[in-house]
Amino acid sequence: MTKPFLIAFLTIFFLLNSQNIVFAQFPLKENRKTALYSDTIEAIHYGIHLTDINLTNKTIQGYTEAKLVSRTGKLSAIKLELARLSVDSVFINSVKIKAFSLSNNKLAIKLNAQINSGDTILAAIYYHGHTFVDPSGWGGFHFSGDYALNLGVGFDAIPHNLGKAWFPCIDDFHDRALYDVYLTVANDKKAISGGTLVDVTNHGNNTSTWHWKTEHTLPTYLISATTGKYELVADTFNGLKARIPITYYCKPEDLKKTAGTFVNMKNILRIFENHFGPYPFERVGYTGTPGGLGAMEHASNVSYPFSAWTGNTEREWWYTHELSHMWFGDKVTCASAEDMWLNEGWAVWCESLYREGIYRKQAYRDNMRSKLKGVLQTTAITDGGYFALYGIPQTITYGSTVYQKGGQVVHTLRGYLGDSLFFGGVKAYLQKYAYNYASTYDLRDFLSSYSGIDLKPFFDAWVFAPGFPHFSIDSSVIVKSGSGYDVKVFVSQKLKGTTQYANANHLEITFMDNSWQKNIDTIVFSGAVGHKTFHLPFFPTTVMADMDEKISDATTDQFKIIKSTDEYDYKQTFCKLQVEKIADSALVRITHNWVAPDSLNLLQPGIRISDSRYWTVEGIFPNGFKAKGEFTYKATENLDKTLLTDPKDSLVMLYRTGAGSIWAKTPFIRKGSWAEGTITVNKLQKGEYTLGVLNSKYMDKK
Ligand SMILES: [Zn+2]
């Protein structure tokens, strides 16, 4: 057919031209320490031929033809990357080259004649051998029983890109090329790559070659090769722009589980298309991976663990994560490893976002909250400290900060811009940088200009600085004014894991009265404290900050509307309510603050209070409402390890009505050991609670 050929040709032509324009319009906004091979030469097409994938010897053999274009003048040698494999011969424009060397994964090839900027050469490299697996055991090219496959990045390989594990290439996040992949396997196996299956040629010797072709450019870490005993379950998605084929290559035993495993796939595709634009590749593809190997977002051919083929929706968040990478990572690729949150943070956030479309807003919120608790409690421990999202050390590119804090920052950015500007801006950004790379600065500047909101202060605090801000209301002063009330609200900012205050913060304030009248407004403030006067038509009995949890600051909070006596678990706040009496509906909000309470104004000597957390209880408590509050304590890192240091100390619960009042001991019942248990306050009141310990020397002096 001539038509596909013409399209491929036009795409290459367009790319060559558009890349020049892209560079002219978007100068690099990165702090790159090292030059990239793609600074001097770029690949526009790879023809990868694995002529033998030997499952017994665990070796591959084949050749790759790379069409390369010089980006500088007077180039007399080129460098490609190839890991572990041995090179048999090299040809440039069909002429055999003797002067090449391979060491430390670098394949240096001396050209017979210099080439100049814009010149194209065809390098054909023949190679064979055992394949590379990165020290983490995750990325590289794997053999496992009847299966062989690549995973395109290595956690412990620096740089992380591992196209080089199975073909010679320019292996970075910038360089994008088109691919034809030819995989020769035994006839009882299938061989799957990205793009579209062009044909399967049976050689008559019990082997066949599977030819796959991509229509969209990809960096080397996103092209894939997978072979093994697979069955195909095929489907189609009617996308916004095109009918997209769906392929699930599963273990023969899992055939019947496929439909149940991916039951929501098309709904999720629709949600992502609506938010982020048409599905960006020619196929939605998931191919099973054996032997405990992980999931990897190879474009249109996601590697997806056999173990996640559950037959039910238990793991759907996982394929959703990989699906979201088709937009975040594959369509627009992070400019560098230091920008990895642009791939992984967004994908983690998408694990929550899809729930909003399928299971409603509350499911999104519950999922974000549960992840936020995890981030605040464990990320600094697992990553070995607080790190800024941007510029993350390459040892933790794939760590909790990038994934989990990254997801929370995307959520917070959504709240900051509001849904209309946020989703409109993100869709436009993905279009602007389509099939290209973008840096953190590119995202910041694009969304700033799209929205008209200067995002520099937001990025300075949330992306370029470590840790978290913490926002709270210190007090409010209510004065009668005309037919309504003037309410002056004083807010403050504390810090967790950072010394840098966030500026230009948008903090939503919710005012409610006892008959549930409600007003929501916003205070914009910078630095440690702020205040604003709001005019209200009613007298507010409760004033709450960020009730809708739009900001992932150092708080985990939840409100519940309570209508009957029962137990209510505020899961991510280490607090449970036992409602004993209720005549009318109550609104009870519990906030777990992951910062130290102000330690001033202690009523009793000898008491040391928590340096890491306290609770806020707010809401509408109607007459006759009575609830017990059960708080959890534990001498573990990031909870009470610094407070509960001495079994001789006596644990106490402290209460105050608000930030301006004095902490005083409040009666409680303790269950558990000195190091772990619960504290129950018999009559929970609005105000603040925190843990303290009374030094044994003071115990008799009551
Ligand atoms: Zn991911």
- The alpha carbon of 341 and the centre of ligand 1 are apart by a number of angstroms equal to 10
Question: Which tokens hold the place of 211?
Answer: 């030819």
Q: What pLDDT sits at residue 2? A: 27
**DSSP β-ladder status, 332-334 and 436-438:** parallel
- The alpha carbon of 676 and the centre of ligand 1 are apart by a number of angstroms equal to 36
Q: How far is CA 430 from CA 112, 217, 298, 440, in A?
A: 41, 15, 18, 13
Q: What pLDDT sits at residue 7? A: 31
| Predicted confidence band of residue 696 (pLDDT cuts 50, 70, 90) | confident
**Nearest-CA neighbor of 48 among 61, 38, 39?**
61
| Predicted confidence band of residue 13 (pLDDT cuts 50, 70, 90) | very low
Domains 334-466 and 555-702 in one fold: no
Q: What is the mean pLDDT of the chain?
A: 93
- The alpha carbon of 340 and the centre of ligand 1 are apart by a number of angstroms equal to 10
- The alpha carbon of 85 and the centre of ligand 1 are apart by a number of angstroms equal to 27
Q: Which residue has the tokens 């003048």?
A: 73
Q: What pLDDT sits at residue 211? A: 98
- The alpha carbon of 664 and the centre of ligand 1 are apart by a number of angstroms equal to 48
Query: Does the structure show a pLDDT above 90 at 325?
Result: yes
| Predicted confidence band of residue 33 (pLDDT cuts 50, 70, 90) | low
- The alpha carbon of 162 and the centre of ligand 1 are apart by a number of angstroms equal to 15
> pTM of this prediction?
0.94
Judge contact between 689 and 641, C-beta under 8 A: no
- The alpha carbon of 667 and the centre of ligand 1 are apart by a number of angstroms equal to 48
Which CATH number, 2.60.40, 1.10.12, 2.60.220, 1.10.10, labels domain 555-702?
2.60.220
Give the per-residue SS3 of 604-658. CCCEEECCCCEEEEEEECCCCCEEEEEEEEECCCCCCCCCCCCCCCEEEEEEECC
- The alpha carbon of 470 and the centre of ligand 1 are apart by a number of angstroms equal to 28
Q: What pLDDT sits at residue 656? A: 95
- The alpha carbon of 212 and the centre of ligand 1 are apart by a number of angstroms equal to 24
- The alpha carbon of 318 and the centre of ligand 1 are apart by a number of angstroms equal to 9
- The alpha carbon of 21 and the centre of ligand 1 are apart by a number of angstroms equal to 30
- The alpha carbon of 402 and the centre of ligand 1 are apart by a number of angstroms equal to 10
For the 37-228 domain, the top CATH level (class) is mainly beta
- The alpha carbon of 321 and the centre of ligand 1 are apart by a number of angstroms equal to 6
What percent of the chain is predicted at pLDDT more than 90? Answer: 91
Which CATH number, 1.10.390.10, 3.30.1340.10, 2.30.30.30, 1.20.120.10, labels domain 334-466?
1.10.390.10
- The alpha carbon of 554 and the centre of ligand 1 are apart by a number of angstroms equal to 24
Q: What pLDDT sits at residue 10? A: 30
- The alpha carbon of 322 and the centre of ligand 1 are apart by a number of angstroms equal to 6
Using one digit for the tens of pLDDT, what is the confidence trace for 460-471? Answer: 999 999 999 999
Using one digit for the tens of pLDDT, what is the confidence trace for 208-265? Answer: 999 999 999 999 999 999 999 999 999 999 999 999 999 999 999 999 999 999 999 9
- The alpha carbon of 345 and the centre of ligand 1 are apart by a number of angstroms equal to 8
* Domain 467-553, second-level architecture: Sandwich (2.60)
Q: How far is CA 76 from CA 90, 109, 115, 412, 520, in A?
A: 15, 9, 7, 50, 66
Distance CA 474, CA 659 (A): 5
Q: What pLDDT sits at residue 256? A: 97
**Nearest-CA neighbor of 474 among 421, 538, 545?**
545
- The alpha carbon of 297 and the centre of ligand 1 are apart by a number of angstroms equal to 7
- The alpha carbon of 351 and the centre of ligand 1 are apart by a number of angstroms equal to 10
Distance CA 166, CA 178 (A): 16
The residues spanned by each domain of the chain are: 37-228, 334-466, 467-553, 555-702
Q: What pLDDT sits at residue 18? A: 32
Q: What pLDDT sits at residue 659? A: 86
- The alpha carbon of 329 and the centre of ligand 1 are apart by a number of angstroms equal to 9
**Nearest-CA neighbor of 333 among 283, 285, 289, 298?**
298
Distance CA 450, CA 239 (A): 26
- The alpha carbon of 320 and the centre of ligand 1 are apart by a number of angstroms equal to 10
- The alpha carbon of 152 and the centre of ligand 1 are apart by a number of angstroms equal to 12
